[in-house]
Each structure stands twice: as C-alpha cells, then as structure tokens.
Structure 1
Amino acid sequence: MKKAIMLAATLVFTIFLTACASDNEVNPKYQEEAIPVISHTPIYVNMINTEGVKVGNATVTETTEGVKILLEAEGLDPGTKAIHLHQTGKCEAPDFKSAGGHYNPGQREHGFDNPRGFHAGDLPNIEVTEKGTVNVEITAPNVTLKQGEKNTLLDEDGSALVIHVQKDDYKTNPAGNAGDRIVCGVIKK
C-alpha cells in the first residue's frame, strides 16, 4: 500500500512539474527585447598599394549607425593618414585616380571643419603604427550599402576606399591636403 501511495504521489508530482514547465514555455515570466538584425552581407575589400600588391583588407557592413569599415593593412609608412570613400569602384595603380573624387552625393565642400562641408565620403584620419600596420574600425554615418538609396556606395560603378600619404586637415577643399593616394580598395557587390 505504501508503494502504491508513493507511486501515485510521484506520478502526480511529475505531472505537476510537466504542466509547470510547459506553462512557462508558453507564458514566460519575462519578455526578452527584440534586437533588430541587419540582413546585409558584409562586403570584403582587397586593399592594394601603388604597385598593385595586396597590403590588407577591409570588411564593409551596413549597421544601424551607418556603414562600418573594419580595416587591416601592413607595409605602410608610419604616421597619421587620411582615408576617404571615393566615388568610383576602380583602383588602377599607381595613382588610383581611377577612383575619382571623394564620394559626395550632396555636392558639398571637403572637411569636417569646413562650414560648407563635408563630403559623405570624408572619414576621420587613421594612425599607422611604427611597424607600418593599421587595424581600425570606422563608421561612416552618411552613407549606406542599400542599393537604390541616395547615399549608396553600391551604385552602378561602386565606390572605393582610399588611404592617402598624409593626414587630412579637415578643411581644405577638395581633399584636405592629404596628398597622393597610396592604398586603394574597390567596394562592389
């Protein structure tokens, strides 16, 4: 008789636990906040120097804050360098003039400190280490990778990511006195 009562109690307890577990699965005690997911696939960019040799790469991704650029490169001269988004997805060495001017769909002047600026493709300067390497993350808030949008980097001819020999002064039109183009990468789907 004791065994039957124990068995019945165990059975009732098991049913109770199962009911509670399934009730919690259907009606959780708290709701987790939904996190939006951006469905754009990252674009991988090979960065080449003036001799046409790959010196690094960049990953360009759409985010809620703008386009995120993760850049790694080596073999550069140390110091502060300008980096910009250029209007054409073409990187012909040695001068990379094929990339055109800065990405500027708003037809503004150059530079964060220019009252008539800045270009959508203007980016903050980067630091190249004493070892000639750079590893940075930059967000470009005024551009997008969404095709068909006004400020898209992915128009018919794409765009380019360009590193210059000198730093950007953030005010001189059209390129911040940044000097020659020394590294270039094509941004295209």
Structure 2
Amino acid sequence: MKSGVLRSSVLLLSAVLLALSGCAQPANQPPQQPEVTRAIAVLHPTEGNSVTGVVTFTKVEGGIKIVADVEGLTPGKHGFHIHQWGDCSAANGTSAGGHFNPDNVPHAGPDSPKRHVGDLGNLEADENGKAHYERVDTVIAFSGKHSIIGRGVIVHAGEDDLKSQPTGAAGARVACGVIGIANPK
C-alpha cells in the first residue's frame, strides 16, 4: 500500500514539474526587447571647446526624424556625422572613430543615394552660435546593419564640403555624444 502512495506521489510531483518547466523561457533565447522608437545623444564639448547640445532620433512614417539643437558654435556651417563608435573618451573626440559606414561607400551629402550611413551634412550656426537641424532620414535605423544605437555623434569645427574623401574635410571635432535608447514617453 505504501509503495502505491509513494508511486502516486512521485508521478504527481513529476507531472507538476513537467508542467512548470513548460512555463520557463528557453535558456538559449534572450528576453524579448521592446521596439526602439526614440534615441538621444547629449553632446559634450571636446577639449578647448564649449559646444553642447542634444540630438534626438524618433521613428516616424518614412524613416527616422533627427532633431538637433546645438550651441557654442562659431557662426557658419559645421560637419555633423554619426561615427563608428559610441566612445567620447579621447579629449579630441577621435575615440569615436570614423564616419559610420557599414556599406563601405564613398562620403557624400545626406541626400545622396550612396553615402556613409553617418553622413548627415552640416549644422548651420547663427550669429549667436546656435544651430537647429531637422530632417527625416531614410538610411539610419534603430536595428540591423544601419543601427545607430550605441554609435557616436560628432560636430566638427568646419563645414563638410560633402565631397572630399573620406570624410568631407570638416576639420577638428568640437563636440561628441553617444546615441542611447531614449525613454519612449
């Protein structure tokens, strides 16, 4: 009699454990991440500069809307790019690497059919050193080969001529920021 109760208890316990194991997530699958809809980069000045700002990236119909508000610039145009690495540790911003270019194509303007993913053109600062930039971009992405998440944003001292190779001859880096996932609000 005791062996029948013991056998029933073992079978019941086995059934419960089997049912519970079906509720667990397989160990080889990462937890599901929510879709990224917004990203942000806070710009900090490189050594000897006073350029600061915020760049937001928002998923919209037809692409990703980029809005940048930057201050502390000299009046005129300043190259504005997404760079390979989200690393602003070097005093001069060079730790961010070159333009983000996963397709290995020539440097060009933001409206060119073939361009670096990071080629955003120029910011244009007014007489007070403030620049506002806004565009919907169809090349950058929040996932896949063209993902900008974790990459660097660089503002340059001079104008990007949109043609010189490999980077547009925009000069020194005056501000650097890292693109992170923003609160979706």
TM more than 0.5: yes
Is the CA contact 2:82–2:152 (under 8 Å) kept in the aligned structure 1? yes
Instruction: Give the SS at the match of 1:166.
Output: coil
2: CA distance, partners of 1:127 / 1:96: 20
Report deviation, 1:163. Answer: 0.7
Whole-Å separation in 2 of the counterparts to 1:43 and 1:107: 24
> 2:169 aligned to 177, 180, 184, which one?
177
Q: Could you say what secondary structure the match of 1:125 adopts?
A: strand
Deviation, structure 1 residue 45? 1.6
Question: CA distance change for structure 1 residues 80 and 117 in 2, over 3 Å: closer, same or farther?
Answer: same
- In structure 2, the partner of 1:139 is 136
Residue pairs, 1:46-85, within 5 angstroms: 46-51=42-47, 55-85=52-82
- Give me the TM-score of the superposition, normalised by structure 1: 0.69
Give how far 1:67 is off.
2.3
Structure 2 residue matching 1:172: 3-state secondary structure: coil
SS of residue paired to 2:69? strand
2: distance between equivalents of 1:47 and 1:67?
19
Give the number of equivalent residue pairs: 145
Do the aligned partners of 2:51 and 2:175 also contact (CA within 8 Å) in 1? Answer: no
Distance 1:111 1:67 in 2: 19
CA-based RMSD: 2.3
SS in 1 for 2:95: helix
Q: Which of 160, 178, 183 is 1:186 aligned to? A: 178
SS in 2 for 1:98: helix
* TM superposition shift of 1:119: 0.8
CA contact (8 A) 1:111 1:122 kept: yes
Q: Give the secondary-structure state (helix, strand or coil) at the position aligned to 2:119.
A: coil
Higher relative contact order (CA 8 A, sep 6+): 2
Give the conservation status (yes or no) of the 8 Å contact 2:51–2:71: no
Correspondent of 1:123 among 83, 104, 120: 120
Q: Tell me the equivalent position of 1:151.
A: 146
In 2, Cα distance between equivalents of 1:179 and 1:108: 21
